[in-house]
Each structure stands twice: as C-alpha cells, then as structure tokens.
Structure 1
C-alpha cells in the first residue's frame, strides 16, 4: 500500500496550521490589549493618589533618613550606658570582695574567738553524781 501526498495538500495543511497559529496570536494580543485597558483605567482613576504619593516620597525618605540617624545616635548612647553598667558592676563586685576579705572575715574570726573563750570560761559546772575532791 503506497500513499503519496501531493504538494497542494502539504500547502493546504501548512495554511491551516498557520491560520491556527495566527488565531492564537490574535487571541493573545486581544487579551493583552484588554489587560492594558484595565491597567489604564486603574491608573486614570488613581492618578491623583499616585501624583500625591510621588510628591510626598522625598519628604518620606528624608524622614526615614532622620529617624535612622537618630536611632544610630540612641544606639551609641545605649551602648555607652551598657559599658558604664558593666564597669559599675565590676567595681561593685570588687568592692564586695574587699568587704568580704577585709571586714567580714576578721569579724568572723573575732566571733569564733569569742565563742571559744565563752565555751572555755563561761561554762557552768554541772552537778554530777560523783563529787570531785
């Protein structure tokens, strides 16, 4: 079984495929046009808002820049305050260690001595069963 296609049939099939592709391109372009018209309407309705936003943009950026500078300054102050707190904490810890070593330990030693002396001297004699001569 032999089958041959003439050149006119090939041209006809090529024309159908081309026509289908052309229809798809036209449908795509119509949808793009419809989308662009919708966007144009949105822009037209909001033109005054967009203009106002664009006009206020430099002021907003200036405010952001000022706030950023202010925050940077405050962060430096906070950093310095934390450094001071750290130094004060170290100084306080050192002072407490000195108080402990130089004052509390000698007082504890004195109290220990007083306790020993009290135990030795101030003990009342117990009356026992056996009397000592």
Structure 2
C-alpha cells in the first residue's frame, strides 16, 4: 500500500515499528559492510574502551529507522532525504533476544512538490538512540 499525500496531514503518526538486533545480525552486517571493529562483537574490547557492552553499528540503527519510513510509504524510492545524529549506542546482549529498537514517526511538515517531513523518535532500552532523525518523503 502506498501512502498518498491526500491521506497525510501534519501530525499523522506512522505505525510504531519494533525491530530486534542480535549479535548474529551484527556479524552479518560486519561481513556486508567490511566494518569488523571489535566493539561490535567483543565484550572485552567494548568494555576496555568504556562501552557498556557490544554495540550495534550506528548504520544498522539508522537503516532500521529508514526502513520504518519506507515501509510506511510503501515505496523505498519515496525517501528523498534522510538524516540522523547518533545519540547513544544500541547495546546488544549476547543472548537469543538481542536488543529492541523502536521507531516512531510523525509527519511534522507538508512541503512543496508533494513532499512531507517525518520526524522520527528512535529508542532502545527506553533511551533515545538517534537524535534529530528526519526524513523527507515524496508522496503519491
């Protein structure tokens, strides 16, 4: 289903999305990206540099928030601008459950040329992990 501009107003909320991130996901991402920094797989190294444990790659967290937006629009090509600031890391425990990343979004502005700005709130463990997360989408 593709979201139409006529169906969107300032204040429209995107459906909340909850994603799980496991250590296995981090291994797969490391292989695909080439980012084998041990803070993403070694508790010992993560602790030695002052982290509370192994953390997800920031780009994984960013991608999950982007996915929530493109799932809402129904068209990945609708995403025309996207930005975030990394606020806190997503700590991924060494268990089968992993960490939850929750993405909420609200249409904050209707722009020219059929575009809308969506402000995102991305949390894990009750803490905001991305700040100033915004997407601009072009709606049908």
Q: TM range, normalised to the smaller chain?
A: under 0.3
Larger RCO (CA within 8 A; separation ≥ 6): 2
So what's the TM-score if we normalise by structure 2?
0.17
Greater share of residues in strand: 2
Higher helix share: 1
Which is greater in Rg? 1
TM-score calculated relative to the size of structure 1? 0.17
